[in-house]
């Protein structure tokens, strides 16, 4: 099936640092989403991207829909302890009415005080 690759798999950063992570695929998608999952909870949507090249921000988070439509990037600026969690990307093809979204394996973020 379709595969999304996320990198890095995990990262440890100091509080206050900026974070960058990405999601890539060999397939083209029309929608990219970024979710965050806290321990013991379900994924929560952070940012949705619907157009190639689109750059969208949500507070300290910024995500981009890659021009090739095969990738997406998420940046977090000035990290804080509550940024800890697993970040998942998800993607969908517009003609994929039934199958809907595929998910990456996640990037686990740890923020050190």
Partner 1 sequence: NAGVTQTPKFQVLKTGQSMTLQCAQDMNHNSMYWYRQDPGMGLRLIYYSASEGTTDKGEVPNGYNVSRLNKREFSLRLESAAPSQTSVYFCASRITGSNQPQHFGDGTRLSIL
Q: Which residues bind partner 1 (CB under 8 A)?
A: 1, 4, 30-31, 33, 35, 40-45, 48, 50, 88, 90, 92, 94, 97-106
Report the Cα 64 to chain-centroid distance in Å.
9
Contact 63, 49 (CB under 8 A): yes
Q: What is the nearest approach in angstroms of partner 1 to the Cβ of residue 106?
A: 7
Nearer to partner 1, 42 or 113 (CB): 42
Cα separation, 84 vs 68, in Å, equals 30
Nearer to partner 1, 89 or 111 (CB): 89
Q: What is the nearest approach in angstroms of partner 1 to the Cβ of residue 30?
A: 7
Cα separation, 87 vs 55, in Å, equals 18
Cα separation, 106 vs 88, in Å, equals 4
Q: What is the nearest approach in angstroms of partner 1 to the Cβ of residue 28?
A: 15
């Amino acid at each position: 099936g379709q595969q999304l690759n996320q990198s890095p798999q995990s990262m440890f950063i100091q509080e206050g640092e900026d974070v960058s992570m990405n999601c890539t695929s060999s397939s083209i998608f029309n929608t990219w989403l970024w979710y965050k999952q806290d321990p013991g909870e379900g994924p929560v949507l952070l940012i949705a991207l619907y157009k190639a090249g689109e750059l969208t921000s949500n507070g300290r988070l910024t995500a981009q829909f890659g021009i090739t439509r095969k990738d997406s990037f998420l940046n977090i600026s000035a990290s804080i302890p509550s940024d800890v969690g697993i970040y998942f990307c998800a993607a969908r093809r517009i003609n994929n009415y039934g199958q809907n979204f595929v998910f990456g394996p996640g990037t686990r973020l740890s923020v050190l005080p």
